[in-house]
Amino acid sequence: MNALIKSATIVDSKSKFHNEMVDILIEKGRITQISNHISNLNNYQEIKLDNLHVSQGWFDSSVSFGEPGYEERETIANGLKTAGHSGFTAVALNANSNPVIDSYADITFVKSKAQDNAVSLYPIGALTQGSKGEDLAELFDMSNAGAVAFYDYQEPISNPNLMKIALQYASNFDGLVISFPQESKISGLGVVNEHINSTKLGLKGNPALAEELQVARDLFILEYTEGKVHIPTISTAKSVELIRAAKAKKLNVTCSVAIHNLVFTDDVLQEFDTNFKVLPPLRTQTDCEALIEGLKDGTIDMVTSDHNPIDIEAKKIEFDYAKYGTIGLESAFGVLQNIFTTKKTIHILTQGKSRFSISETTVNEGEIANITLFNPDITYEFNTSNISSRSKNSAFLGNALRGKPYGIVANNKIILNNG
């Protein structure tokens, strides 16, 4: 693949051309020249777009595509296409499928479905067999097959001894254990944040305590085992405090937050819109502010869309019975731009790769081209026409967003949005 990108502003603090408007020559998938002006002598494909900016390729640490088993929600092929159109060159795929991805063969299967794609797929294997929380899955075998971490998607490990053994075992091969932060006996049948709104709406509450107890427990176990853990999608102010203290003690812990937990509170539940039924639930404004502060000071390591396509039959029902989840790949950039500067947004979208053993490439001469193209300034209302996913269950429908991805150049391929 050969291409010439014209008049692009580079947003990459690790590039010698950071903040400069330049031309970028790509030959055979590698950046061969960056300069103020490059002539298209070989008649390569020319990419010239309005207010074009480029950065390192973006990464999402938590996406679900459904396949195998839930292809009506999303397929791997269309999920990766959606990720590319949304500006992501790499995604970590959850074991949120049927059957659950919990063996060497399963990891090999999902990797084969993503071969020769512009977007790189990094599978996360289930931590326990069938994600049932009873017996460890084939962690070492899955690691050899290419699993980058181990996680029972949105299923808490209720047995603390099992969590201890998982951390001890995985440390033998530098495996990353992911533990969902919820104490199920405390959360019970709660479907929304336990607070004033849950009482007003007559919906069962899932208290912040359920998350915080599990985070505290896992951090104690981590300290004992000296293992390596990632806590996904935290949602409370106290969780931020707990992880901040653990990092001060030099524990090997990272964490993420879902984008929707940064911007929405449980006040949006007044209309019982099931697109806002997510796990962990939407919390309070105090929690949102603490999460944003945690991102600013580095306590929270990465942001995820927690992209989870759900078919309409599982969403257009009573709130209590609707499935948890919202899609988020397509809206991620525009939402973050409403909160942070472009520089900070790009930093957020490009960090976290090393935690998942993914190599980082910068926008410099000689590097393999793994870049995202975007316009940071365009504003628009997000609607179904902006959704590439098979499922349309977005919490961000009708929201005003700032900034749009144009596409990506990665794996010796180009994906560009129309227009």
Which active-site residues does the annotation give? 306
Which pair of structure tokens corresponds to residue 71? 């292809």
Q: With beta carbons less than 8 A apart as the criterion, state whether 374 and 349 touch.
A: no
Amino acid at 183: E
In sequence order, what are the beta bridge partners of 90?
Answer: 59, 120
**Nearest Cα residue to 387 out of 30, 50, 85:** 85
* Cβ atoms within 10 Å, residue 296: 11
Query: Strands, DSSP E only, in 155-265?
Result: 177-178, 192-193, 205-206, 229-231, 253-258
DSSP string, 200-228: HHT--EE-HHHHHHHHHHHHHHHHHHT--
In sequence order, what are the beta bridge partners of 8?
Answer: 22
Q: With beta carbons less than 8 A apart as the criterion, state whether 170 and 177 touch.
A: yes
The helix (run of H) or strand (run of E) holding residue 112 is: helix 104-113
**Separation between Cα atoms, residue 57 and residue 10, nearest integer Å:** 12
**Separation between Cα atoms, residue 101 and residue 68, nearest integer Å:** 9
* 302-304 and 371-381 beta bridge pairing: unpaired
